[in-house]
Structure 1
Amino acid sequence: MTATLSSSTGLPTNDADPFDHEVLEDPLPLQAALREAGPMVYLSRYDVYGLARYEQVHAALVDWQEFQSGAGVGLSNFRYEKPWRPPSLLLEADPPKHDAPRRVLTTVLSPRALRRLRDGWIADAEALVDDVLSAGTEFDAVPVLTSTFPLRVFPDAVGLPQAGRENLLPYGDHAFNAFGPDNDLVAKGAPRVAELSGWVASACRREALAPEGFGADIWAASDRGEITPEMAPLIVRSLLTAGVDTTVHGLSAVLYAFATHPDQWQRLREQPSLARMAFDEAVRWESPVQTFFRTATTDVRVGDHVVPDGSKILMFLGAANRDPRRWEDPDLFDLSRDPSGHVGFGMGIHQCAGQHVARLESEALLTALARRVRSIELTGPTRRHHNNTLRSWESIPVRVRLT
């Protein structure tokens, strides 16, 4: 996976496929090779430019003027290709189109709004943990905890109808696969695209949502003229796309981290206030969102080389989050580290608007577990779920010892 130098430009070139199943199973070797090759690498397989070092990834994320999202944050270039669904008004738009939807969603997901949910989510987490532990001390953490809890609390907060919630994870899985190339992972989800997209569109309508919740708040903003009625369902859709899968895999990451770092679990039990920091450290360490694309709006210089106008840039968020130029001992999950500044939630104007929702879900679940569980250990091989964008889990078999 080593890079070679282009004889004409001197730009490091790598012909690896970042979306190959071998890389999706273990992206760390390729990430290390790309970081060591230089500030920027030409990825010949897809004719795109790769950024894997923290400095360059962070700079691209905050520079929306030269590294635009409006041409798509996947491999597909919306300048020339029609998107498979109407583009996201938050993730796939730049100012000024991005501004009003972002303001509305930031208000809807305000700290005050989350404080109203806190007690209920903590109680729900405790009830879930009690149910799981009453059934036994050996279980697969993904289906019984990390997938279950977000689907238990978040759709209620949005105000989704009960019927059809099982569509959320497959829809999100396809949406994140679609940011990559048109490979077998995209083909796997293609037969259900119309069905899943139809359900999501229906669930985002005003009349389908509960009279109270994040969804109703977004529609109320359209009544006040802060956004148009056409924008409202697309903003609700953004919540459903980005607010479930990423949290599921973030929770899986933090439980896997504790199962493989028992000393850190003891630290959390001694200091439950570290729960939110633990989640951020796990997001840095595991990076549930591994990659996103941008498009150059002009000839952009990165280091000693230029990205031509209209070219796609692949940002390796996971590689940046383990860059030793930024982090000491980056491959360690360490609660003594300050993980702030990681790019696991993005950075700049497109930084994840729902990150505090994910932190609250994690805090509730980890706190409930820490009260009851003395230790967590793996009981067998873990299993990954491959996705073109997400670092995902299918199975984390564990044994816990109770207090």
Structure 2
Amino acid sequence: MTEDITQLSYALDTFYFLVCAVLVMWMAAGFAMLEAGLVRAKNTAEILTKNVVLFAISCTMYLLFSYHLMYSSGAGGFMPSLGFLLGAENTADQVLGSNGDLYYSNRADFFFQVVFVATAMSIVSGAVAERMKLWAFLAFAVVMTAIIYPTSGYWTWGGGWLAELGYSDYAGSGIVHMAGAAAALAGVLVLGPRKGKYGKSGAVYAIPGANLPLATLGTFILWMGWFGFNGGSELMVSNIDSANNMAQVLVNTNAAAAGGVIAALILAKIWFRKADLTMALNGAIAGLVAITADPLSPTGLGATLIGAVGGLLVVISIVALDKLKIDDPVGAISAHGVAGLWGVLVVPVTNASASFGSQIIGAVAIFLWCFIASLIVWLILKAVMGVRVSEEEEYEGVDLAECGLEAYPEFSVGKK
């Protein structure tokens, strides 16, 4: 009888983990639709290509290299071990919980983790949209998913020094989202703004996206996928406590997204005198990112307030970055970076086991590592192959220059 219960628990936890991973994979579609809706029509095919290929690169690099790098060393280290290159990688079929209970298949753990690294890389895609060379972006994706992300991931989820320090990040506000935003910021600084975005007198000119219905669909897809992102991080559901935790996580995830939408829309109405849809969409993302660091400890109302602050911050950050002439077409740096930082720092307010000191150190370490390492890679790519398309190609659209086709060819003017 005990053996039957063990097998049933193992099967249930593995199935739950895999379903959550599939939901997170669905977020790749959300990022693709959101970004495609917020760029101009002439750049749609290229950004869709980036999202498809970056997912494939992330999965391949994590399978061949990064998963073993992220989980290869003893506790407390600063650098992951490279021993797996000599055949010492972990090939166990099962993952044990801290109390010795079987949680799930190790292969399920890999599948869940691989969609997280793809999420981090997707954040970069939107921020550098409309003027970056496709192959330079894909080259960066290889380095980001093979080395940069798994190194800081090892510090935290892999048992490295930040884990030993007590840094707490339930599903990755800092580990995933702020890391991706830091890499994006480095790329944007190297790349420069789009032509016509900023005037000489400090004026900021709006460059509207081509398809706001598509962007809205992308946001709802991300909202849905986030239930797997946060819910799967509970790791198991085969006992009463874990099942209740899973329910609380989903309630709080949804509440934070709703709070982010409401707060962002109200601030946009007060500030711009208009109900700005793009700010509401980014408010949803910011609320989701903010609660990701700890979607378990707060009450539903507390999660709503955490998401609401994320929604306010994303509006302020988007405006501030434009004032600084940091051009992010989709608001990814603000939604994932600023809101991610807020999510990491607010954890000790509701979680007594976390401390502000460890959260600050963790946030600074992850940001600096991802930003500096990414900046070096971007500068190398700029020197070796260039990172920006020509002014003429940017004017015509990177769809034709990089992909040789258009997403909406029937709407082209003056072309046969």
The answer to whether the superposition gives a TM-score over 0.5 is no
Q: TM-score range by the shorter chain?
A: under 0.3
TM-score with structure 1 setting the length: 0.27
TM-score with structure 2 setting the length: 0.27
Between Structure 1 and Structure 2, the one with more strand by share is: 1
Between Structure 1 and Structure 2, the one with more helix by share is: 2
